[in-house]
Amino acid sequence: MKLDARLEAVRAFVPAGGVVADIGTDHGYLAVALVQSGQAERVIASDLNLGPCEAARRTVREERLNGAVEVRQGDGLTVLVPGEVQTACIAGMGGALMVSILAAAPLVVKKLDALVLQPMNGAYELRHYLYQHGWHVADETLVVADDRIYTVLRAEKGRCKMPDALTLEIGPVLWERKPELLRHHIESLLFQARRAAAGMEKSERAKQSAKYKDIQKRIKALEERLIW
């Protein structure tokens, strides 16, 4: 099963061996690739909606992996029994939704060894939640797919000092390692912040708000992070 660069980065971050959950599996491509590559002994793939579950089951049948990939329909991690899997992958969702998925199944999360996450947005909220709840970012990478830059991270158990807000937004491991795509990543965050500021500048009342001042401070701080 050939994956695009985004899902391949997710697959590569999964610790080898054990049972893996692929939450929000869509067509089941990641689940199948995890088994075929030997990355996982078994995968439980889930999706909230029937259509993606049927598509995933079709993919599993076509690849003759019915014994290695099980597809379950349900909401997030609630389809799992605590201790059933060692690693959970959640990709292609907003960070806020990922937080709600993690918060909805605390007993399942407590028994996990690792989380592999690819937020489409809201990375600050996601990282903040992880550090608040006894997890930390152990590894991160940036990857380009379909002309868009994506962040993929692996979180592991263990309390660590909470990074500052800007580092949580950029990514603590990314900032430490300074990968090739980091400037592009920060520039993307800057673009979003400047667009938000431009929208507020259409209103004099908004320009006087604390939120506008905070955005201006964030823009300045991000600009300073482009220099190293």
Chunked in runs of 10, what are the mean pLDDT values of the chain (228 residues)?
94 95 96 96 97 97 96 97 98 97 98 98 97 98 94 96 97 97 97 96 93 96 94
Contact between 219 and 160 (Cβ < 8 Å): no
Contact between 90 and 24 (Cβ < 8 Å): yes
So what's the pLDDT on residue 1? 81
Contact between 45 and 19 (Cβ < 8 Å): no
Instruction: Tell me how many degrees the CA angle 61-65-70 measures, rounded to the nearest 5.
Output: 90
pTM of the complete model: 0.94
DSSP structure string for 194-223: HHHHHHHTT-HHHHTSHHHHHHHHHHHHHH
The CA distance from 216 to 8, in Å, is 36
Give the pair of three-digit tokens for residue 49: 């909606």
Using a 10 angstrom Cβ sphere, with 0-12 exposed, 13-18 middle and 19 or more buried, the burial of residue 96 is: middle
So what's the pLDDT on residue 10? 97
SS (H, E, C) 32-93: HHHHHCCCCCEEEEEECCHHHHHHHHHHHHHCCCCCCEEEEECCHHHHCCCCCCCEEEEEEE
So what's the pLDDT on residue 30? 98
So what's the pLDDT on residue 228? 87
Phi, psi of 20 (to 5 degrees): -125, 145
Residues listed for the chain? 228
Give the pair of three-digit tokens for residue 172: 């603590």
